[in-house]
Structure 1
Amino acid sequence: MHLTDRRPEVGADELISSLVPPPRFAGVRFSTYVPNPDEPSQAQAVESCSAFAQRIPARPGKKPRFFGLFGGGGEADATMGLYLDGGFGVGKTHLLASTWHAAPAPKAYGTFVELTHLVGALGFTEAVRRLAEHKLLAIDEFELDDPGDTMLVTRLLRELTDAGVYVAATSNTLPDKLGEGRFAAEDFLREIQSLSARFAVTRVDGPDYRHRGLPDPPPPVDDAALAASAAAHEGSSLDDFDALCEHLASLHPSKYGRLVDGVPLVHLRGVHAAPDQNVALRLVAFADRLYDRAVPVLASGQPLSALFTEEMLQGGYRKKYLRAVSRLTALARDASPATT
C-alpha cells in the first residue's frame, strides 16, 4: 500500500466530532504522568493543570464578558487560559490531554493547524458558533507562523473566551514570543501581547523523556530489507520519500492524520534532507501525526535525524524541527523490533 494513493477527505461535521485527543493520548491521565524527580516544575505543572480543569464549571452559568483585547475597557481573565511552555519531550501533550480528560463535557481538543483549518472549512462565524458550545478548547502545538494566523487566532480566542470557553494550550515558545524569527512579529506586537494576556503560563522543564536512558536509534536499512519488511507486515505502507513529500504538498496538513489512520508500519525509501523549509514544515506536521497515532517508521537512505539541515536548525523553526527529530527517532526505535 502506498500513502501517495490515499487522498483523505474530512467533512465539516466530522471536523468538529473528531476534536478529541489522538490515539496515543486517549488513555492518559494526570495519574499516568510520571514527573522527573530532578525537575520540580513537572510536578507543579500537574497541580496547575489539575486545578485549571477543576475551575471549569460543570454546569452552564452566566458567561463572563471581557473587553480590551485591542486596548480599552479592561483585561481578559487569565484564569480562563492555561499555557504550557517548555521544551520538546517533557510531556506537555500528555498534560494537555489529561486536562481535557479531567474537564467537564462538552470539550474540544485539536492541534493548532487543525484549528486554523476548521476555521477555513467552516468560516469564522460558524467555527466560533460551534466551538463556543464547548466548555474547554485544548490546543496542542500552538504556533504563529505568519501574520494571518496571528490576526485570526487573536480574534478567535477573544470571541471564545468572551463566550465563556476555557482555553488550554501547549507550545515550545512563550506566548509573547510567538512568531519571533518567522515573520516581522514586531509589526503585530499589539496583537501578540493581547493574545498572551489571555493565558496564565505554566513552565514545564526537563530533558527529552523519549530518549532518557534509551539506546541510540537504529541505522537506516537497505532498500531490499525495507521492501521485505513492507511485504511481511500486512497493511503497512511503502513510499519513495520524494513522492511522499510531493503528495504531502497536495494535502492540507489537517488531513495528515487521516492519511496514516490504520497503517501499522510506515516504510520510507530514500530518505534525505528536506530541500527547503516548506517541505521541512510539512514533514514536521506529518511526523506529529505519526507520533500521535504511534505508527512506527522504517526508512532507507539517510537517518531520519538528518531530515533538517544545520541551517534549518539554526532558524526560527528550530524547536519544531528538534521536536520532529525526537518523535521520529522514537518511532524508528519502535520499528526496529518489527524487522527482526
Structure 2
Amino acid sequence: MTSGVPQSLCERRPHVPADRLVQEMQPPPRFDAVRFDTYVPDPGQPSQAAAVAALGSFAAGLGGAHPSGSGRRRWFAKKPAAPAGPRGVYLDGGYGVGKTHLLASLWHATPADPSLKAFGTFVELTNLVGALGFQETVRTLSGHRLLCIDEFELDDPGDTVLVSSLLKKLAEAGVALAATSNTLPGKLGEGRFAAADFLREIQGLSAHFLPLRIDGEDYRHRGLPEAPAPYSDEVVTKTAYATDGASLDSFPGLLEHLARIHPSGYGALTEGLSMVCLTGVGPVPDQSTALRLVVLADRLYDREVPVLASGLPFDRLFSEEMLNGGYRKKYFRAISRLTALARDARELPGQ
C-alpha cells in the first residue's frame, strides 16, 4: 500500500468462498491470546470466577478420543453412545461481561487440533449453512470436538430453528457445544437473563446444556467516560493521509456500500487496515442499515481496528425507537464496541 494515500472501504468488494468460511471459524484476532488466566473476574461478582472454573473443567473433559471413535465421523457411521454429563455450556449474562473472552478461552483450552474446533458468531454460522447447504454443513462439522457459537440470536425465529436443528445433528454426532446469546425483545435492562429463552429455543437440546450465569457490568465502560467527542472533518482526513494502512470514507457512503456486500464479507472488507477514518457520522436511517452496521462494528472490534470519526458521537447513532425495539441489545453492543474503538484511536500517537 502507498504511504500517505488512504484506502476506501467503499472501493472494496470482497468475495469469500465457502471453504474459507470454514477455515476461518476460529476466534478472531482480538481473542488470539486470551486464556482463562487472562480473564480478570470482578471481585464483586463471584459468578465470574465460578464460570471460569466450570469452563476449565468442561474443557478438560473434552480430551481423549472423539465420541464417534475417530477424528472425523463417517456419514453413515453408527451413532455414538451419549457421553455422561452435559455436552454443552451456555454463558448467560449481559453484554460486556466477558462472555466472548471466556468462549474463546474455552476454544483455546480444549485439547484438540484447531482444525477440529470451530468458533463463530451466530451470523457466521447461518452464513456457512447458506454457502454449503444444511447437510454439507452437518457433514463438515460432525467430526469436530467443539463448536462455539457467539451471540446466538434469539430474535430471528427462522434462523433460530435452522441453527437449533443443526446443533441437534451435531450433538448426536458427539460434538460438544458452547454458546452465548443475546436477549429476546423486551428483556434488556429488566434484570432478566436469556438462559430460559435460549434453552427453550434450542428445541430438544436443553438437557445437553449447563447454563453458567455471569453477572456484572460492561467492562468496556467500568470507570470510563461516555463516547469521546468526535473530531473535525479536517482532522479525520489529515490523520487518514498521515497513517499507513488507514481507510477514509464518508459515513453515509459507507452505509450505502454495506448494502451491496453480504455480511459474511465484512471481515474481509476490513482486512489489512490499521485504522478506519469516517467523516460525517450521523443517525442511522433505518433498521436494515443499522443491523448491517452492527455486523461491521463486530468485525472491526474483533480485529482491533481503531475508528476515528467526525460528526455525531457513537452513542447517538441509533434512534430512541431503535434503542427501545426488539434489536436494542445489538445496538447497545455496537455502541459499546465502537466507543471502545474510538477510545483506541485517541490513544494512538499524534492524537
Shared fold (TM-score, shorter chain, > 0.5)? yes
Q: Partner of 2:188 in structure 1?
A: none
Residues 198 and 153 of structure 1: is their aligned pair in 2 closer, same or farther, counting only changes over 3 Å?
Answer: farther
Is the CA contact 1:176–1:193 (under 8 Å) kept in the aligned structure 2?
no
Is the CA contact 1:136–1:167 (under 8 Å) kept in the aligned structure 2?
yes
- Paired residues in the alignment total 321
Q: Partner of 1:294 in structure 2?
A: 304
1:90-114 Cα distance to aligned partner (Å, 9 max, x none):
1100000000001122211111111
State the alpha-carbon separation in 2 of the partners of residues 158 and 150 from structure 1.
12
Offset at residue 146 of structure 1 (A): 2.3
Q: 2:44 aligns with which of 35, 38, 52?
A: 38
Query: Does residue 98 in structure 1 map to residue 105 in structure 2?
Result: yes
Superposed, 1:219-298 pairs within 5 Å as 219-298=229-308
State the alpha-carbon separation in 2 of the partners of residues 319 and 337 from structure 1.
28
State the alpha-carbon separation in 1 of the partners of residues 331 and 302 from structure 2.
16
Q: 1:47 aligns with which of 53, 73, 79?
A: 53
Q: Partner of 2:178 in structure 1?
A: 168
State the alpha-carbon separation in 2 of the partners of residues 34 and 136 from structure 1.
24
Is the CA contact 1:78–1:200 (under 8 Å) kept in the aligned structure 2?
no
Query: Does residue 134 in structure 1 map to residue 144 in structure 2?
Result: yes
Give 4+ residue runs of structure 1 displaced > 4 Å after superposition: 189-193
CA RMSD after TM alignment: 1.9
Offset at residue 133 of structure 1 (A): 1.5
Q: Share of identical aligned residues, percent?
A: 61
Q: Partner of 1:4 in structure 2?
A: 10
Q: Partner of 2:65 in structure 1?
A: 59
Residues 33 and 229 of structure 1: is their aligned pair in 2 closer, same or farther, counting only changes over 3 Å?
Answer: same
Is the CA contact 2:149–2:179 (under 8 Å) kept in the aligned structure 1?
yes
Q: 1:85 aligns with which of 88, 92, 115?
A: 92
State the alpha-carbon separation in 2 of the partners of residues 257 and 77 from structure 1.
38
2:86 is paired with a residue of what secondary structure?
helix
Offset at residue 9 of structure 1 (A): 1.4
Offset at residue 77 of structure 1 (A): 7.7
Query: Does residue 28 in structure 1 map to residue 38 in structure 2?
Result: no
State the alpha-carbon separation in 1 of the partners of residues 333 and 281 from structure 2.
18
Offset at residue 175 of structure 1 (A): 4.5
2:60 is paired with a residue of what secondary structure?
helix
Structure 1: state its 5+ residue gaps: 67-75, 179-188
1:164 is paired with a residue of what secondary structure?
coil
Offset at residue 154 of structure 1 (A): 1.5
Offset at residue 150 of structure 1 (A): 2.0
Q: Partner of 1:16 in structure 2?
A: 22
Is the CA contact 1:175–1:195 (under 8 Å) kept in the aligned structure 2?
no
